[in-house]
Copies of this chain bind each other. A is one copy, B any other.
Amino acid sequence: MQTLNTYKPKNINTHLIEIQDYFKIAISVDCVIFGFDENELKVLLIKSDLDQYKSKWSLLGDIVHTDENLEDAAYRVLLNRTGLQDVYLEQVHTFGKVCRHPAGRVVTIAYYSLINIQHSTIRNMDNELHWHPVKKVKQMAFDHREILDACYQRLQEKLKEHPVGFNLLPKKFSLRELQNLYEAILDVKLDRRNFRKKIMSMGLLIDLNEMEDDVPHRPAKLYKFDAEAFEKKEKNLLGLES
């Protein structure tokens, strides 16, 4: 970063004085927390606590502390709200329209994360906190609808090239569940045989030699995600191994 109208080298002090007027913007993080449940992609939303957005739903977020890294703020929100650590988190876009927040100039950095709903302990500390099917979300508080749309689109693009969907499933899953997840996120119908062929050819599934139980249909085989094989594959992509 360089200021524009400067004609000689500056030291830190002159630079500080020059820019102190600009330290008037707040930074927040907003987390689009996706989960997968009942064959639907869901997002965790909270009722807005601002009068003017009364009864509107909003994303989970918070102001970034001045001594806190951006990702740390996002992880803090996730831990506080879902009880989960080490979840998949990806920065998507920063939203900063001048009038986007009624309290002043607040620039927000949008993240999405993928969590396993079964593992989370949703913490409802103040307002109503609920999972909403993404497809059924309507108006939201602030510019949160735009943020949700951007994150959902990024998730769709990501899923086409990277096996991020496993983060949304229980540890053991059937190929049917996996296909349901792809269909729900991409909003398409996939051919069962082609899907299975493609997924198996990725070499990222471990056959657990177990069957589903307690299901209303014919029990299917159970698999788990092969994190080790995936890590190896990623390394190869980066050219780190021969």
Q: How far is the CA of A93 from the CA of B92 in the complex (A)?
A: 7
- Tell me which residues across on chain B come within 8 A of A24, comparing CB atoms: 23, 66
Q: How far is the CA of A1 from the CA of B110 in the complex (A)?
A: 10
Asked whether, in the complex, the Cβ of B28 is within 8 Å of the Cβ of A25, the reply is no
Q: Which of B93, B101, B126 contacts A1 (CB 8 A)?
A: B101
- Tell me which residues across on chain B come within 8 A of A61, comparing CB atoms: 1-2
Q: How far is the CA of A1 from the CA of B50 in the complex (A)?
A: 10
- Tell me which residues across on chain B come within 8 A of A48, comparing CB atoms: 2
Chain B CB within 8 A of A96 CB:
yes
Number of chain A interface residues as a range: 35 or more
Q: Which of B20, B29, B96 contacts A69 (CB 8 A)?
A: B96
Q: Which one, A9-17, A131-139, A171-179, is touching chain B?
A: A9-17
A106-124 interface code vs B (CB 8 A; 1 in, 0 out): 1111000000000000000
- Quick one: given A49-B10, A50-B11, are A106 and B1 in contact (CB under 8 Å)? yes
Q: How far is the CA of A3 from the CA of B80 in the complex (A)?
A: 11
Asked whether, in the complex, the Cβ of A103 is within 8 Å of the Cβ of B15, the reply is yes
A58 to chain B, nearest CB (A): 6
Chain B CB within 8 A of A68 CB:
yes
Chain B CB within 8 A of A240 CB:
no
Residues facing B in A25-78 (CB within 8 A) are 25-30, 46, 48-52, 54, 58-70, 77
Chain B CB within 8 A of A94 CB:
yes
A237 to chain B, nearest CB (A): 13
Asked whether, in the complex, the Cβ of A16 is within 8 Å of the Cβ of B104, the reply is yes
Residues facing B in A184-222 (CB within 8 A) are none
- Tell me which residues across on chain B come within 8 A of A109, comparing CB atoms: 94, 96
